[in-house]
């Protein structure tokens, strides 16, 4: 059987590519080797509580234009709500609670006013935050590339950011968006995150909050869209090798037997799977893929806790001077009926750049999360744990180290009918939902040219 396009990989980049191809009228087949789709962005039902659990909590923003367009295409844009204006709460047991809350001023004055009102920092330090904003405005695009040679921490030091500014604001944003230690990850990726979020419209800087599980938001509606537009989605079907030459792909051999042919091929798989596939496809020997071995993964741990009472009123908050980094109130975010919950509360605790906890037992991670939760939230000190579930996404993202941007391949390859997609490709962004969908859409557009 021959189709217009074969998309290999059912993560968000693959789904994004297949949806865009189907939208353009192409006859597309999507293959996913696992039983479920979504890659690192999926959800499931916890059998003990009956609540929906995401494999990891994802922060999204209004500047995720490709993501919002994708959700609108598949009909789920109403299931993620955008803040009227940016608000991020910060919790600290000594300093107390503070908020980065932006007033309804024209951009970028709303961000400047929000930074000046951040009470976790002395006012003289808040004034120094404006140096970063000034650099976002004034750095010519032609000079951005040099930022990939230095770390986030070094760049912030050059901009005169004191330790408090880095620790209580910039590092929080850097770890959350880049999933890495600010002393080790690229200033270029951080610069682009800040510029996209803070230098656009007031809507761009607001948080985009899912009100359902990730599978309901992204995956199932995308599959339905593909199939209702004449496409085909196959689960538990993996590709063993690519067939053809370095100039053109002629087909793929499947792991469970059989062969498929297409006019165009889109590889939407993680870099570590790409290395394996290229080893199985020696005849292809594309130089485009040799850089995949340069990538390194970084993990994210999510500790889901069900408590016997409400201890946290806000939708989410960053936690300062703590081993845990973010608290997400899933009871509120998913709009669960408190009466159905019998007064209990469902929280997700997130630790990004979590490689140092890789060998820690799940029971110890739960204890650690409870200790820090009770340390920062007095209401949690009397609460009893009813249930816990730990998810350790060991290869959550690639680590955007300085210099890595040069190794990120474009969508085009030396085989004219083979394209790449994935958040690790050259999207101009770190590994995010936006980057994954952006790459898939770009590959689909090229496949249709």
Kindly state the average pLDDT of the residues 275-282: 73
All domains of the chain in start order, with CATH = 2-43+212-295+400-448 (3.50.50.60), 84-202 (no CATH), 297-398 (3.90.660.10)
CA distance 116 to 100: 9
- What tens digit of pLDDT does each residue of 218-258 get? 999 999 999 999 999 999 999 998 988 878 999 999 999 99
Kindly state the average pLDDT of the residues 183-204: 94
Q: How many C-beta atoms surround the C-beta of residue 342 within 10 A?
A: 8
pLDDT score at 284:
64
Instruction: Give the torsion through C-alpha atoms of 78, 44, 59, 437, to 10 deg.
Output: -70
- Which pTM value belongs to this model? 0.95
> Which residues are paired to 345 by β-bridges?
307
Given a cut of 60, is residue 80 above it in pLDDT? yes
Give the percent of the chain with pLDDT over 90: 80
Mean of the per-residue pLDDT values of the chain: 93
Kindly state the average pLDDT of the residues 320-347: 87
Contact status, residue 54 vs residue 304, Cβ threshold 8 Å: no
Q: How many C-beta atoms surround the C-beta of residue 221 within 10 A?
A: 20
pLDDT score at 25:
95
Nearest 5°: phi and psi at 264?
-130, 150
> Which residues are paired to 290 by β-bridges?
none
Contact status, residue 312 vs residue 329, Cβ threshold 8 Å: yes
pLDDT score at 338:
59
Nearest to 76 by CA among 206, 208, 216, 188: 216
Where is pLDDT greater, at 134 or 340?
A: 134
pLDDT score at 294:
84
Given a cut of 60, is residue 339 above it in pLDDT? no
Kindly state the average pLDDT of the residues 412-420: 90
Cα-only R_g, the chain: 22
**What string of DSSP letters covers 403-438?**
TGGGG---SB-SSTTEEE-STTSS-SS-SSHHHHHH
pLDDT score at 255:
93
DSSP one-letter code for 104: S
Kindly state the average pLDDT of the residues 76-101: 92
Given a cut of 70, is residue 287 above it in pLDDT? no
- What tens digit of pLDDT does each residue of 36-66 get? 999 999 999 999 999 999 998 888 999 999 9
């Amino acid at each position: 059987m021959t189709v217009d396009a074969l998309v290999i990989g059912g993560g968000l980049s693959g789904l994004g590519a297949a949806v865009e191809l189907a939208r353009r009228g192409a006859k597309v087949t999507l293959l996913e080797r696992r039983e479920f789709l979504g890659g690192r962005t999926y959800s499931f039902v916890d059998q003990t509580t009956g609540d929906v659990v995401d494999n990891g909590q994802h922060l999204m923003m209004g500047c995720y234009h490709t993501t919002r367009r994708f959700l609108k295409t598949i009909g789920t844009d109403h299931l993620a709500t955008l803040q009227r204006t940016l608000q991020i709460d910060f919790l600290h047991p000594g300093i107390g609670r503070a908020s980065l809350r932006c007033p309804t001023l024209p951009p970028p004055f709303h961000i400047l006013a929000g930074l000046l009102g951040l009470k976790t920092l002395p006012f003289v330090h808040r004034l120094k935050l404006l140096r970063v904003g000034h650099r976002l405005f004034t750095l010519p695009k032609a000079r951005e590339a040099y930022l990939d040679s230095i770390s986030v921490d070094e760049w912030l030091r050059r901009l005169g950011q004191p330790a408090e500014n880095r620790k209580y604001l910039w590092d929080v944003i850097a770890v959350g968006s880049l999933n890495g230690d600010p002393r080790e990850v690229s200033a270029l990726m951080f610069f682009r995150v800040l510029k996209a979020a803070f230098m656009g419209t007031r809507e761009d800087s607001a948080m985009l909050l899912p009100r359902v599980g990730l599978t309901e938001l992204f995956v199932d509606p995308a599959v339905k869209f593909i199939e209702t537009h004449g496409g085909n989605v196959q689960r538990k079907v993996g590709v063993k090798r690519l067939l053809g030459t370095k100039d053109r792909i002629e087909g793929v051999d499947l792991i469970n037997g059989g062969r498929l042919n297409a006019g165009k091929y889109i590889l939407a798989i993680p870099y570590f799977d790409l290395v394996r596939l290229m080893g199985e496809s020696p005849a292809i020997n594309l130089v485009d893929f040799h850089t995949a071995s340069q990538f390194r993964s970084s993990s994210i741990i999510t500790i889901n806790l069900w408590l016997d009472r409400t201890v946290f009123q806000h939708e989410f908050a960053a936690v300062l001077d703590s081993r845990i980094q973010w608290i997400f109130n899933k009871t509120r975010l998913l709009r669960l009926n408190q009466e159905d919950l019998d007064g209990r509360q469902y929280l997700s605790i997130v630790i990004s750049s979590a490689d140092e906890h890789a060998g820690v037992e799940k029971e110890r991670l739960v204890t650690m999360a409870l200790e820090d939760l009770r340390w920062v939230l007095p209401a949690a000190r009397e609460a009893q744990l009813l249930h816990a579930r730990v998810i350790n996404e060991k290869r959550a993202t690639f680590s955007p180290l300085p210099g890595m941007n040069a190794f990120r391949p474009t969508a085009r390859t030396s085989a004219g009918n083979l394209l790449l997609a994935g958040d690790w490709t050259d999207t101009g962004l770190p590994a995010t939902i936006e980057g994954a969908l952006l790459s898939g859409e770009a590959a689909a557009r090229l496949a249709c040219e």
